[in-house]
A and B are shown apart, each in its own frame.
Chain A
Amino acid sequence: MSFDAFDAWWWPFLFILIAGWLATDIWRFAGVVLGGRLTEGSDILVLVRCVATALVAAVVANLIAFPSGALANTPLLLRVGAAAAGFACYLSAGKRMIVGILAGEAVLLAGLLLF
């Protein structure tokens, strides 16, 4: 039952509601219920954070390796180079996000204009 499985107008909305809203707000509601019973440093939360981080990282890597839209027409090496340059600038600028994002964009645009 993929996003395009049914031709009905409501199906994408139901898909988003179940796989998006329910899957997300269930944790927010659980957080209200738990109140202050779980501590930030508890070990199970470390595991949860690790799995969540690896998941999002996979999405990020796939967006760079197998992009859609206008980014799909750019060379793989340029995309990886832009992302790596952005991350390197972010680290060397004392973890300032805005520096990393601007540097990555600058490398991509420079590459597109030069080649």
Chain B
Amino acid sequence: MCGNVCHLSASRAYWYARGARATISVPGLIIASAFVGFAGLARGTGLTLPETLFMTTVVWALPAQVILIGVILSGGGLLPAAFAVTLSSARLMPMVVSVVPEMRTGKTRPLTLYVLSHFVAVTAWVLAMEHFPHVPRPMRTTFFGGLGTTLISINLVVVTIVFTLAAKLPPAVSAGLFLLTPLYFLTSLWGSARERASQHAMLIGLAMGPIFHLLVPNFDLLATGLVGGIGAYGFRRFTARREAA
């Protein structure tokens, strides 16, 4: 006879497991294949397995991780690296802003939300938005906890497997592994763009990236981000004003 308390903890375990199971999905499969590519990239850059696992756990945002690798590759310093990652990770804020109101109840502790916010990245966000309508509101934090921890765990295993096997792969397969990351972002950046301007920014970035890499090797990412981003945004303002006039 333990009444409500027992009932509540049993259903917490149930919803945690439901969250964990939600990772077995198309977005889950795509992020795992993207991490196959990332692990190959990190290994090729000279990172050790512990460093790569650590980065995946504490950052948990693939664009930020790929940018970090890019800065390390070009020998950039701590400050340019932190600045470039800060610019790229800003896009996580609107995702958190939109997911928090859906899982907060009057009794949710702020600390719970801060901890859970760490799991927010494209995949977890997409899956949460898809499943939340079918999860009772008081159980959504638990569901999201199961989703987030499982998603990170799966990809830590993926990274470990790739690091272990990469040395034994034939060169063609290895080359294919390295191409996974650019292909993943070419398609996902275009598809997840909320507005035309983001797609313009992507096209400018693709064209200017290699040019800035040759001109200003240590600040190529920042320079491209600022020029491409402000350029695309300015073009949007310009055309909006012309349409309004």
Chain A contact residues, CB within 8 Å of chain B: 1-5, 12-13, 15-32, 34-38, 40, 45-71, 73-74, 79, 82-83, 86-87, 90-91, 95, 97-98, 100-101, 104-105, 108-109, 112-113
Contacts and interface: CB of A to CB of B under 8 A. Distances in A.
B156 interface: no
User: Which of the four size classes fits the interface of chain B?
Assistant: 35 or more
A66 B209 CA distance: 11
B96 A31 contact: yes
A43 to B, nearest CB: 9
A54 B228 contact: yes
Nearest to A30: B93
Given A19-B71, A62-B220, A90-B187, A50 B197 contact: yes
Contact of B210 (A52, A65, A97, A112): A65
Interface in B148-192: 171-172, 174-191
Given A34-B93, A55-B87, A55-B229, A66 B100 contact: no
Contacts of A66: 210, 213
Given A53-B229, A58-B209, A112 B92 contact: no
A60 B86 CA distance: 18
Given A51-B87, A55-B229, A62-B209, A36 B171 contact: no
A31 B94 contact: yes
Given A61-B206, A73-B171, A31 B229 contact: no
B28 interface: no
Nearest to A101: B183
A66 B171 CA distance: 17
Nearest to B76: A2
Which secondary structure dominates chain B's binding surface? helix
A30 B63 CA distance: 19
A70 B93 contact: no
Output the residue of A37, A56, A100 with the most chain B CB within 10 A.
A56
Contacts of A52: 63, 87-91, 225, 229
Contacts of A98: 26, 30
B141 to A, nearest CB: 12
Interface in B37-94: 40-41, 43-45, 47-48, 51, 54-55, 58-61, 63-68, 70-73, 75-79, 81-94
B94 A20 contact: no
Nearest to B67: A59
Interface stretch (B13-21, B126-134, B230-238): B230-238
Contacts of A87: 186-187, 190
Nearest to A113: B172
A57 B70 contact: no
B175 A71 contact: yes
